[in-house]
A and B are shown apart, each in its own frame.
Chain A
């Protein structure tokens, strides 16, 4: 295919494209540069307000956006393809890196799907389920805090950024205590979780529960009455329920338009139906509404974390089936998560059968009966769905993630066109896109 703007030629190094812009003089002679207000602004992919490598091509008449186009793919890492070459357990270490602000959600969606394929959903121990819920809700708070921090920064409330990241850091410390890593933990595994929650972490979570409600109040005191914040959020980037459903927008953006659609309530998983919490909604359908919904969701998540802590009873954290459960008792050491030394001593010194079992399960993994499932969960950004296909082998045959960031970004033209350039930032930020998840 030849393009007159970008001729191509073959070299020993491969195909080379040359952009000559040969008809540039024709193009500009056809326009009146003095009286034409139309400009095209290329925003991103390297731009502090686009939440990563998102590129927006905006056509402006003065300061009004007449046309907005979204270009993605700069962070495509082929995670879905890579999964097909690793075993089922290794899959968690890949999916956790997609939406890097919500690793626990990626892992849980993937593991719930694998468990559904294995038919062991009912066998997951109570404690494992409770830990998953607790970790997910802590993660939701951390993710919303980053949203609040970055959006605050983008709209001029710089101090909000410092406070948001301060509290998020506390939650990441809790994650580190539990899993050995702050992010990308690969903590949730098919069958349960990698290891138990230490008593020290429980203490730290109680600490968070004690101070966090006051901190959330402080955020509101900082922002809610602030005239600049109000002017930059109220009535900006409106998207009603019809628009949201047509464009597939879920999560806080849909709830800010007034529809109480939360998968934790409407199609519960992980026993969410047994927890007491409310679905936050708002009627304004604008950036302000999304801010209110996320603030309320943080409060509700704290409520769920508290209930989860209270029902955390001693017990196993992974299925009893030794053909699926990871044989090594993992432990958090000085340098992160690894095999516990007592387990290594046992398999190397005392039990050859344990060594064989360990070796087989780690190198070969387990087989998953053929079939396909789709498991959706409520991520911080909306419906996070895992479509997992098995051919009966030790590796996933195909894994596709319905990423809320990917789907939600389609709303940018609907929100931005006809508005001001400055409101593109507010509208885009209110979607809370994470490009790692969007591009996978």
Chain B
């Protein structure tokens, strides 16, 4: 972060305060709607963290956000706003599902690895397009990635309907055979190896950003492309690479969902993981590791929210609203300072000149 940024510790404290504040205001709203605040929040807490099943649900809900949040956070480092994680996730999911299905002759380990790589590759390809358009033509990545989201969602639906459809009433691929799935981590739950892959991805990208020449150059491009150019950095190449890496990670979000949770590709399966990933990345700020707690926060609100609806009879909408408040309070200052700081160039220090 720049001078105006918060340190890691105070940042964490700030986020915790913001979550509390959001829950407080949420409590007022829940109370005003005629529901018991105590019931709501106890169910939220229990539903998110109380017991193996709840914890497992939270992890399952957090896993795709871990990837999409990481994807967006990584692109931030290069000054790129990847709004296209959603589309990258769809192409990754379909590619992995199709590859995993078509490789039934290979040993499971190989099958899974190849399918994952293929999904990441598809996401990278989907990220390459806006990266290249930005580097060559200066087309703004926000516009192009949003457009490509529509293309990806429609294209995958089209492909499934016409080429990879499971005979039956529903538009979806065939169920993956057990050998093509990501192994379960905790038997009896849907917690798969995906979450481990996600944490490894965080570790890897954190290393790239903080401890590699590539990361140095990507950050230089993100923070001051003119200085990067002056320093001999190939700005265009780094832009394309950052976008591809971001796309690959978002693609993996889809792969892991398809291979570890759904066991198939279903059109429109994502409830907006790619977009929630933006919120996760904004909360995580400049730190790759902070993506993990940020993803868990949203995963917990989701799983806790479900059980609140189920057991306390409180509509999901109210819990979604609490989620919205969390985003608002946690992310607003960061987002604000990011937008302000994005192109703020201080002229020669005005006040100091005497």
Partners in one complex: no
